[in-house]
């Protein structure tokens, strides 16, 4: 090699290194401005309200879905009416933007439903204020039903303090705190029933939403978020698990084929959502670590996010890190000096409040930020060491532009970002799509970023019309 060529190579290397260094430095310098709305939400979420809600829900004796519906003091009906009244109180601060409804249906006989039973969700909807964003919906839920040993025992005491008064209380507290603030997109705060009877309430809501053609951009379920001393003896008050699936539950074989061919098994929309929650949660709630779990739910188990995943919407589950099975789905009793049962004395209310904060800041940024870019593609058939990305332009008036993010293929989270301005195509020079994963996110004038969209491959014969091949943002 001639000295001139060597020098040219060295210069190129230096240029590349300084670009990477600049990108990292830019990320450090400019985290989204510490939004006043978000700071207020973090401050206003109060563990004392969460404790009161949990103790009140426990006071109904049982909230089994098959229990009494018309007794004012005991059973799921009493819990339903109390929650409805509490969400209505929360809505008072919204100036008419939050509406509350009881969404009921009759569940026919089923495996865990011995006779036809009314299942009622309490649904509080905080309408988005930006016309271009108000149809974009975020759903956060907990389940207010409970069970003891048998899911069909409607008589036994089933306090359900952790499973799942904790999640229900977190959602009610978020509704109370967030109703005061305006968001561009719509947020639905929901307490569902029938979870222990096979995700009945959540499935009903998701199916109704599908039939109404709602655009649900993300769903969070909070289920078992209050115990900080595990059955394994480990005390952890500073972490929460966020479960996300890698390969979408609703994917067709053809879509799965495409995903396999480009190594997208770790880049579903739900997984981008989990990465987003980790980034926002740890930024605004620094006392909490978001432990991403790369699976749909705990081993062989399920939750209320699944009916949403099955209908093609990104969804995740929040749960404490170390579970204590002596305090879940147990008849309340003492055996050999050991207390069994899901009692409030085993719930760490300050921890539930922190999990609620992680939820709330993530929801707030989602509902303040632009939508995820649509139609994101990568030109896959051009043999090149450059990577060319394309997407459709967002419609929000406060859009500032886009960022390309990337990471090595074995990295768990996005490690680099580069602002590229208000464009709909960008080429990463000298960075091969073979060696990195790339994604695109939208950013608004306040610095709020959308979750990342992982591109679909766009073949040579599709290049003439880049926007026609993709109609949804949810996959891969
Ligand atoms: Zn549960």
The per-residue pLDDT for range 403-458, each reduced to its tens digit, is: 999 999 999 999 999 999 999 999 999 999 999 999 999 999 999 999 999 999 98
Provide the pLDDT for residue 17. Answer: 55
| Residue 282: Cβ-neighbour burial (10 angstroms; 0-12, 13-18, 19+) | middle
User: Ligand 1 centre from 217 Cα, in Å?
Assistant: 23
Provide the pLDDT for residue 473. Answer: 34
User: Ligand 1 centre from 91 Cα, in Å?
Assistant: 26
Contacts for 4 with CB less than 8 Å, ≥ 6 apart? none
Q: Is the pLDDT of residue 475 over 60?
A: no
User: Ligand 1 centre from 147 Cα, in Å?
Assistant: 9
Which tens digit of pLDDT belongs to each residue from 86-136?
Answer: 999 999 999 999 999 999 999 999 999 999 999 999 999 999 999 999 999
Which tens digit of pLDDT belongs to each residue from 299-322?
Answer: 999 999 999 999 999 999 999 999
User: Ligand 1 centre from 418 Cα, in Å?
Assistant: 40
User: Ligand 1 centre from 165 Cα, in Å?
Assistant: 9
Return the higher-pLDDT residue of 270 and 474: 270
Q: How far apart are CA 200 and CA 248, in angstroms?
A: 21
Q: Is the pLDDT of residue 5 over 80?
A: no
Provide the pLDDT for residue 34. Answer: 56
Provide the pLDDT for residue 380. Answer: 82
User: Ligand 1 centre from 197 Cα, in Å?
Assistant: 10
Provide the pLDDT for residue 33. Answer: 45
User: Ligand 1 centre from 375 Cα, in Å?
Assistant: 36
pTM score: 0.90
Q: Is the pLDDT of residue 188 over 80?
A: yes
User: Ligand 1 centre from 423 Cα, in Å?
Assistant: 44
Which tens digit of pLDDT belongs to each residue from 324-350?
Answer: 999 999 999 999 999 999 999 999 999
Residue (of 292, 309, 300) closest to 248 by Cα position: 309
User: Ligand 1 centre from 391 Cα, in Å?
Assistant: 39
Q: How far apart are CA 281 and CA 163, in angstroms?
A: 23
Q: How far apart are CA 472 and CA 177, in angstroms?
A: 32
Peptide bond between residue 433 and the one before it cis (omega within 30 degrees of 0): no
Query: Locate tokens 């000295």: which residue?
Result: 3
User: Ligand 1 centre from 112 Cα, in Å?
Assistant: 15
User: Ligand 1 centre from 95 Cα, in Å?
Assistant: 33
User: Ligand 1 centre from 229 Cα, in Å?
Assistant: 17
Provide the pLDDT for residue 472. Answer: 33
Provide the pLDDT for residue 383. Answer: 84
User: Ligand 1 centre from 84 Cα, in Å?
Assistant: 20
User: Ligand 1 centre from 125 Cα, in Å?
Assistant: 23
> H helices of 322-427, where?
349-368
Q: Where in 45-179 does DSSP place strands (E)?
A: 98-107, 117-126, 136-143
User: Ligand 1 centre from 341 Cα, in Å?
Assistant: 14
User: Ligand 1 centre from 222 Cα, in Å?
Assistant: 8
User: Ligand 1 centre from 143 Cα, in Å?
Assistant: 7
Rounded mean pLDDT of 8-36?
A: 53
Q: Is the pLDDT of residue 31 over 80?
A: no
User: Ligand 1 centre from 439 Cα, in Å?
Assistant: 34
Per-residue confidence at 2, pLDDT binned at 50, 70, 90?
Answer: low
User: Ligand 1 centre from 363 Cα, in Å?
Assistant: 21
User: Ligand 1 centre from 62 Cα, in Å?
Assistant: 14
Instruction: Return the CA Rg of the chain.
Output: 24
């Amino acid at each position: 090699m001639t000295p001139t060529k060597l020098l040219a190579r060295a210069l190129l290397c230096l240029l590349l290194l300084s670009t990477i260094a600049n990108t990292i430095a830019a990320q450090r310098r400019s985290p989204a401005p510490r939004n006043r709305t978000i700071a207020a939400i973090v401050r206003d979420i109060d563990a004392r309200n969460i404790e009161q809600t949990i103790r009140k829900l426990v006071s109904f004796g049982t909230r089994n879905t098959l229990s009494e519906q018309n007794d004012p003091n005991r059973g799921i009906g009493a819990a339903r009416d109390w929650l409805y009244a509490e969400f209505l109180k929360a809505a008072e601060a919204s100036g008419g933007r939050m509406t509350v409804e009881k969404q009921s249906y009759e569940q026919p006989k089923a495996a865990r439903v011995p006779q036809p039973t009314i299942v009622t969700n309490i649904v509080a909807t905080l309408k988005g204020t930006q016309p271009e964003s108000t149809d974009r919906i975020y759903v956060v839920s907990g389940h207010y039903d409970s069970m003891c040993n048998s899911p069909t025992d409607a008589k036994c005491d089933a306090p359900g303090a952790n499973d799942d008064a904790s999640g229900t209380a977190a959602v009610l507290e978020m509704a109370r705190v967030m109703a005061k603030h305006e968001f561009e997109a719509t947020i639905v705060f929901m307490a569902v029933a029938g979870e222990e009877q096979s995700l009945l309430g959540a499935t009903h809501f998701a199916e109704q939403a599908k039939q109404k053609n709602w655009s649900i951009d993300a769903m969070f379920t909070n289920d078992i978020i209050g115990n900080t001393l595990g059955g394994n003896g480990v005390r952890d008050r500073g972490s929460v698990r966020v479960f996300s699936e890698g390969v979408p539950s609703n994917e067709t074989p053809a879509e799965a084929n495409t995903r396999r061919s480009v190594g997208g098994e770790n880049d579903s929309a739900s997984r981008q959502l989990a990465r987003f929650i980790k980034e926002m949660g740890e930024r605004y709630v620094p006392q909490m670590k978001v432990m991403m779990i790369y699976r749909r739910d705990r081993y062989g188990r399920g939750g209320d996010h699944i009916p949403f995943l099955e209908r093609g919407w990104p969804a995740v589950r929040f749960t404490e890190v170390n579970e204590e099975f002596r305090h879940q789905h147990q008849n309340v009793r003492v055996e050999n000096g050991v207390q069994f049962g899901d009692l409030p004395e085993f719930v760490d209310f300050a921890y539930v409040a922190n999990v609620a904060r992680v939820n709330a800041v993530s929801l707030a940024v989602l509902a303040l930020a632009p939508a995820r870019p649509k139609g994101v593609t990568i030109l896959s058939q051009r043999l090149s060491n450059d990577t060319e990305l394309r997407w459709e332009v967002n419609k929000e008036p406060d859009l500032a532009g886009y960022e390309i993010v990337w990471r090595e293929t074995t990295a768990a989270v996005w490690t680099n970002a580069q602002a590229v301005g208000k464009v709909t195509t960008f080429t990463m020079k000298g960075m091969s799509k073979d060696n990195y994963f790339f994604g695109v996110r939208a950013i608004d004038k306040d610095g709020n970023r959308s979750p990342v969209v992982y591109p679909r491959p766009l073949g040579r014969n599709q290049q003439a019309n880049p926007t026609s091949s993709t109609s949804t943002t949810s996959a891969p």
